[in-house]
């Protein structure tokens, strides 16, 4: 049995949820809130964050979103016969483009982290425009999206597959829009907008979209 500590609104937990759906793997979602102390979560993840994947058959517990995604891709490589096109990537990164792909993944993750920092401060009653660090976070999001747009094509970061970079990007862009943390639409990120449009109705993406 696969169990996933998650929240329906967590962009980090959404990544393995998409992969689990793409692969047709049965799992139990454990709704886990991190705003208050949670003894079970603390026992399973010293970072006190979600997602956490428990693979009971393998006796393994993993945390951090792309680590969990990498594990699922490696441990459960099969793809359902009726999987959508283009197919989900078979690996987190391509062996022959490892450093390029890791840079893209890291930049998307930093973008998402900056957005999360912003919303946490807003929830605490802080105006981001009045705090130098938070102004830098907004600047960082724009700078990262500008760079990512140069690395992508309208068909995705790796045309021909639904790459993990595409998956990460779609989740980050939808979360930023959902939380109204950064108005990236209409800023000239044409390749990023095309990737989102390409995958927004994919069943695994649509089923996990924040509402």
Determine the pLDDT at residue 35: 80
What order do you get walking across the sheet with 60-63 strand by strand?
27-31, 2-6, 52-55, 60-63
Determine the pLDDT at residue 36: 80
Higher local confidence (pLDDT), 54 or 39: 54
CA dihedral 152, 110, 177, 93 (to 10 degrees): 40
The pLDDT tens digits for 120-147 are 999 999 998 999 999 999 999 999 999 9
Distance in angstroms (rounded) separating the CA atoms of residues 166 and 104: 10
Determine the pLDDT at residue 34: 84
Domains observed in the chain:
2-75 (3.40.30.10), 95-203 (1.20.1050.10)
Beta pairing class for 52-55 and 27-31: unpaired
Distance in angstroms (rounded) separating the CA atoms of residues 58 and 69: 16
Report residue 104's pLDDT band, with 50, 70 and 90 as the boundaries: very high
Percent of the chain with pLDDT strictly greater than 90: 90
CB within 8 A of 186, min separation 6: which ones? Answer: none
What rounded mean pLDDT belongs to the chain? 95
Report residue 33's pLDDT band, with 50, 70 and 90 as the boundaries: confident
Spacing of C-alpha 40 from chain mean position: 23
CA nearest 4: which of 34, 42, 37, 41? 41
């Amino acid at each position: 049995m696969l169990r996933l500590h998650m929240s329906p609104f967590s962009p980090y937990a959404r990544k393995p949820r998409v992969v689990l759906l793409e692969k047709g793997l049965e799992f139990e979602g454990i709704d886990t809130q991190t705003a208050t102390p949670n003894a079970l979560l603390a026992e399973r993840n010293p970072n006190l964050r979600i997602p956490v994947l428990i693979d009971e058959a393998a006796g393994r517990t993993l945390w951090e979103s792309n680590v969990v995604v990498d594990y699922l891709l490696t441990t459960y490589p099969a793809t359902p016969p009726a999987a959508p096109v283009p197919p989900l990537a078979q690996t987190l990164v391509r062996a022959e483009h490892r450093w390029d792909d890791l840079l893209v993944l890291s930049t998307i993750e930093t973008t998402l982290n900056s957005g999360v920092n912003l919303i946490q401060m807003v929830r605490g009653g802080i105006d981001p425009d009045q705090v130098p660090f938070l102004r830098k976070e907004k600047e960082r999001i724009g700078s990262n999206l500008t760079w990512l747009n140069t690395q992508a094509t309208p068909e995705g970061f790796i045309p021909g597959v639904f790459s993990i970079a595409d998956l990460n990007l779609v989740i980050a862009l939808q979360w930023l829009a959902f939380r109204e943390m950064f108005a990236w639409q209409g800023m000239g990120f044409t390749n990023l907008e095309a990737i989102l449009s390409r995958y927004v109705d994919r069943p695994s993406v649509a089923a996990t979209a924040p509402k």
